[in-house]
Amino acid sequence: MVDIAGLNPFANFDIGIGAIGSALLVLFIAVFLICLVGVIIFLYLNKRKYKYRIPLTKKVGERTIRIKTFLAKDFPIGRAGDKLWLVKGIKKYISPATLQTAPNEFTHHEREDGEWINVEYPDVDEEMKQLKVKFVQQDMRSNRIAIADILEQRFKDQKSFWEKWGNMIMQLIFYLVVTMMMIVIFYQWSDIVTKVSGLVDKLQVTEKAVSGGSIIPAMILMSFRRRK
């Protein structure tokens, strides 16, 4: 049977608070974790409620600029399904917008009297037609040629990464490979010297066994014996 006391992670630690203190500590940690998870879930759900983005533009001087992008959520009023939008941060209630400039994005413009109105991007082609402004193909071609010349002058002295550092990188790789080969050779050099010394000793013993002579006949004799 499982002992409930064994589930206490602080049962093996003597921190001088006794059994009741350990139970209260475990309870406090559990409540803290539950509250933390609850706060995270609340913030996540609350963030998802603010699903509308409201870029706000305003006339500053002689130009209309975007001053900030707000978030808004649905705010039900009454029981007939009517609703307003609650703007986050400034607690401003506005009527639900209908003109979108992007998915879930409703651009507003603040008039001189402080009223927010829902606007959309103007039709630039239509305005140019009304102003009788037209770019002919020759103008666009001239602009394209001028831009190409500017870019060529800007980047003509710039080299690519491999053109600038390729030679150095290849030399570095070559020297690294040669260095690794030399390290391997020097590492095995002691074994090679040991084996060659043993071979020379055997040849000298064989030379004495055949009553004189040089090392070469001894090597021939050893090779002949191995074949037999």
- Residue-wise pLDDT for 178-210, tens only, equals 888 877 777 777 677 777 777 777 776 666 666
Asked whether the predicted pLDDT for residue 225 surpasses 90, the reply is no
Neighbour count for residue 85 (Cβ, 10 Å): 21
- pLDDT tens profile 209-218: 665 555 555 5
Nearest to 105 by CA among 157, 78, 69, 156: 69
Task: Report the domain count for the chain.
Answer: 4
Tell me, yes or no, whether 37 and 87 share the same domain.
Answer: no
Task: Show the domain range for 151.
Answer: 126-155
What does the pLDDT average to over 112-137? 79
Tell me, yes or no, whether 41 and 55 share the same domain.
Answer: no
Residue 46 exposure: Cα atoms within 13 Å on the Cβ side: 8
**Rg, C-alpha atoms of the chain:** 43
Tell me, yes or no, whether 114 and 132 share the same domain.
Answer: no
The string of DSSP codes covering 7-44 is G-TTTT---SSHHHHHHHHHHHHHHHHHHHHHHHHHHH
Tell me, yes or no, whether 55 and 114 share the same domain.
Answer: yes
Q: Is the pTM of this model over 0.75?
A: no
Question: According to the per-residue pLDDT averaged within each range, which of 43-52, 62-71, 173-182 is highest?
Answer: 62-71
Asked whether the predicted pLDDT for residue 223 surpasses 70, the reply is no
* Mean per-residue pLDDT of the chain: 76
CB 83 within 8 A of CB 76: yes
Tell me, yes or no, whether 181 and 222 share the same domain.
Answer: yes
Neighbour count for residue 25 (Cβ, 10 Å): 15
pLDDT grade, residue 28 (50/70/90)? confident
Domain end, chosen from 155, 176, 205, is at 155
Question: According to the per-residue pLDDT averaged within each range, which of 42-46, 115-119, 183-187, 208-212 is highest?
Answer: 115-119
**Integer angstrom CA distances of residue 56 from 89, 102, 112, 137:** 14, 14, 13, 36
Residue 146 makes CB contacts below 8 A (sequence gap 6+) with: none
Tell me, yes or no, whether 180 and 208 share the same domain.
Answer: yes
More confident site: 102 or 146 = 102
What does the pLDDT average to over 31-45? 85
Asked whether the predicted pLDDT for residue 159 surpasses 80, the reply is no
pLDDT grade, residue 176 (50/70/90)? confident
Asked whether the predicted pLDDT for residue 65 surpasses 70, the reply is yes
Residue 102 makes CB contacts below 8 A (sequence gap 6+) with: 53
Q: Which of 8-12, 105-109, 160-164, 200-204 has the lowest mean pLDDT?
A: 8-12
